[in-house]
Amino acid sequence: MNFKALFAAGALAVAGLALPAHADVKSVAPDGMVLQFKGEVALSRDDAWSRLLNPSAWWVGDHTYSGDSKNLSIDAVAGGCWCELWEGGEVEHGRVIYLKRNEAIRYNAPLGPLQGLGVNSVVTFSLADGSAAGRTAITVDMVVVGSSLSGLDKLAPIVNDVVGAQVKGFTALK
């Protein structure tokens, strides 16, 4: 599956969708990008944490290798896999490198086409108290570095749109 084409198609598909209140390309260069996304969900911190660890409930299926987010799972322990398993295939999207219950989970996670570029990518999902009782704020920080041949400056807007759509999915209750 050509994930550069899939990311490009996904970017076009989500262009008309409202992204989280704050999606930001913080820094970009041919050899790196720093992205940040912020949103809020009408869930307690415990419930938001449970939702975060169940990506099949909020990840957009079009942005999976199998085409179905129900194939996603997270083993929420240090070294655990953020994986996708389906008949005939499997992929490790990320490996848990930090976890603090109800506060943060960090992955070594070169998502989608970034895997094929040989880059290092760290994605951190952080939860905090929201603007009112029963609400939880989420911040997703993504730092990607590679060689200047990676062309990350050209991929940054696409990755921003795709990851932003996932944060939007997390904050939307289904």
Which tens digit of pLDDT belongs to each residue from 137-171? 999 999 999 999 999 999 999 999 999 999 999 99
Q: For the segment 94-121, what is each residue's pLDDT rounded down to a tens digit?
A: 999 999 999 999 999 999 989 999 999 9
Tell me the fold of 3-171: Alpha-D-Glucose-1,6-Bisphosphate; Chain A, domain 4 (3.30.530)
Which tens digits make up the pLDDT trace of 23-68? 788 999 999 999 999 999 999 999 999 999 999 999 999 999 999 9
Backbone angles phi, psi at 65, to 5 degrees: -70, -35
Whether pLDDT at 18 is above 80: no
Q: Are 68 and 62 in contact (CB under 8 A)?
A: no
In the chain, where the domains are located: 3-171
CA-CA distance, 72 to 84, in Å (whole number)? 4
- Residue 4: what pLDDT? 44
For residues 8 and 158, the answer to whether their CB atoms sit within 8 Å is: yes
Separation between Cα atoms, residue 101 and residue 46, nearest integer Å: 9
Residue located via tokens 């997390």 = 170
